[in-house]
Amino acid sequence: MSTPASKKKSRKGLLVLLVLVLAAVVLVIPPALAGGLMVPVSKVVFGETTGSLSATQAATNVSLITAYEYYFSVRAGGMVRTSDTSVSSSNGNTSITIDLKLTNPSGQTVDLGNTNISGGLGTRTHTIYLSIDQGVRVSGSYTLNIDLTVHVTVLGILGISIYSKTVVATFTVT
């Protein structure tokens, strides 16, 4: 029969073992999934204004970050992030579909899916993060085709315009 002191020691040892295993998992898994300690991340930023039916040129930036930063920060925030600059529903509403297609250095095109955004008319800034999960792994030139399809509704009843625009972003991973 175990004494209370030996049970306490056993629990303490089990707790220490659990902490060590969790620490090992956190330290080993991200680089193992990423295939290395450093991963390339491409940040593509462009703006669109639904009231005037326009989109800005895309700006790109490629950087190397640690697998830890990628998995615990960048990836956790999502691939597409949108911020409203001056959006108002008083003049109407919009439904925006952003469809993403990435062409890799070997010429293969990968459909990255689409994102739907609904809200008022106005200016938005969209930021897209591409990395190992989207196929940005090897050195070379990549092209991202961003197809915007916008439907504008005025006064809640009248769908007045649907337009499509393609924004192209090219970036190089070295």
What are 63-105's pLDDT values in tens digits? 999 999 999 999 999 999 999 988 988 878 899 999 999 999 9
pTM of the model: 0.84
Alpha carbons within 13 angstroms on the beta-carbon side of residue 106 total 6
Range of the domain at 102: 35-173
How many domains in the chain?
1
In a domain, 39, yes or no: yes
In a domain, 18, yes or no: no
**Encoding tokens for residue 141?**
């030139």
CB-based contacts of 23: which residues, under 8 Å, 6+ apart?
none
In a domain, 16, yes or no: no
Q: pLDDT of 19-54, one tens digit each?
A: 999 998 889 999 999 999 999 999 999 999 987 778
CATH number of the domain at 89, please. 2.60.40
Identify whether the C-beta of residue 173 lies closer than 8 Å to the C-beta of residue 65. no
In a domain, 69, yes or no: yes
In a domain, 151, yes or no: yes
In a domain, 5, yes or no: no
**Alpha-helical regions (H) of the chain:** 4-34, 67-69
Spatial separation of the C-alpha atoms in residues 174 and 97, rounded to whole Å: 31
Q: Side chain identity at 153, as an amino acid letter?
A: T
